[in-house]
Structures are given as structure tokens and as C-alpha cells.
């Protein structure tokens, strides 16, 4: 009678994973499936529970980071993330000491700060976005 409960748990964990897409309950479904198999082999309930906890924990600890890394590699950068590495044109001299500077990037004007070694970046210079920090971008001069 006990193995059927593990099979129901597998189904519940898989449905929860489909609803949340958080890559958390799928590992417990794996643990429940292995515990279901142990139940079919007439293992005592306490062994089934230990197997469920051990397998679920191992799957969560060792396979989740690998799966997340592969899923995040194929993710397309959007909005602000996509700006890093793009080039723009200085429309107001960039001077970190005076806290001035603006660039034009894809038709939008951004407040800019110099991330490079130069003290100032003149108007009409080409720059590359190195980082986005809040409402301004940090850029370096393209020589």
C-alpha cells in the first residue's frame, strides 16, 4: 500500500514544478520515485523515507546548479542587460569630478560616468558601455 503514496507524491511534485517553474520540486519528484521503487522492493517505511530525503537532497545540491547554468546560458539579455558592450556617442563632456556627462545610445540619452583611466571624455567621442548603475552608465573611451 505504501508505494502508491510515493507515486502520488511524484505526481504532485511534478505538477507543482509545472505550475511554479522554480526548479525545486522536480528534485523531490526524483526522490519520491526512488522511494517508490524501494517500496516496491518491500523496503521498510523508514528506509523509504531516508532514501527519499537522501536522493532529493543529492539531486538538489548536485544537479540543480548544473541545470540552472545551462538554462541561463540560453537566456536572451533584455533591456538594461543588453546595453553592456554597446557603443554610444558623448553629447555632454563626461567629467567624474564635476559629475557631468551624457551619451546618446540607441536614440536615448543617458547620464554617463567614466569607468576608464581618462579624466574627461570630450563631446562627440565614441564610448563603450561597461556597466549600468541605476540611472547612469559607466563607459570607457574607444580609441
pLDDT single digits (tens) 90-126: 999 999 888 899 999 888 899 999 987 778 899 999 9
More confident residue, 23 or 139: 139
Residue 12 backbone phi and psi in degrees, to 5:
-65, -45
| Band (1; pLDDT cuts 50, 70, 90) | low
pTM, two decimals, is 0.50
- Among 10-24, 57-71, 82-96, the minimum mean pLDDT is found in 57-71
List, in order of start, the domains of the chain with CATH numbers.
Answer: 2-73 (no CATH), 84-141 (2.40.50.140)
Question: What Rg do the C-alpha atoms of the chain give, in angstroms?
Answer: 27
Contact, 17 vs 29, CB < 8 A? yes
Residues 3 and 47: beta-carbon distance below 8 Å = no
Please name which of 27, 25, 30, 35 lies closest in space to residue 5, comparing C-alpha atoms. 35
Q: What is the mean pLDDT of the chain?
A: 87
Amino acid at each position: 500500500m505504501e508505494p502508491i503514496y510515493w507515486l502520488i507524491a511524484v505526481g504532485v511534485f511534478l505538477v507543482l514544478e509545472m505550475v511554479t517553474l522554480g526548479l525545486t520540486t522536480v528534485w523531490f519528484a526524483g526522490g519520491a520515485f526512488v522511494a517508490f521503487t524501494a517500496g516496491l522492493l518491500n523496503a521498510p517505511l523508514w528506509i523509504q523515507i531516508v532514501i527519499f530525503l537522501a536522493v532529493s537532497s543529492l539531486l538538489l545540491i548536485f544537479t540543480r546548479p548544473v541545470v540552472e547554468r545551462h538554462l541561463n546560458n540560453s537566456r536572451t539579455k533584455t533591456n538594461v542587460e543588453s546595453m553592456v558592450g554597446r557603443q554610444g556617442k558623448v553629447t555632454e563632456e563626461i567629467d567624474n569630478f564635476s559629475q557631468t556627462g551624457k551619451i546618446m545610445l540607441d536614440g536615448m540619452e543617458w547620464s554617463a560616468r567614466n569607468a576608464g583611466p581618462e579624466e574627461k571624455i570630450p563631446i562627440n567621442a565614441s564610448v563603450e558601455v561597461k556597466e549600468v548603475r541605476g540611472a547612469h552608465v559607466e563607459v570607457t573611451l574607444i580609441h
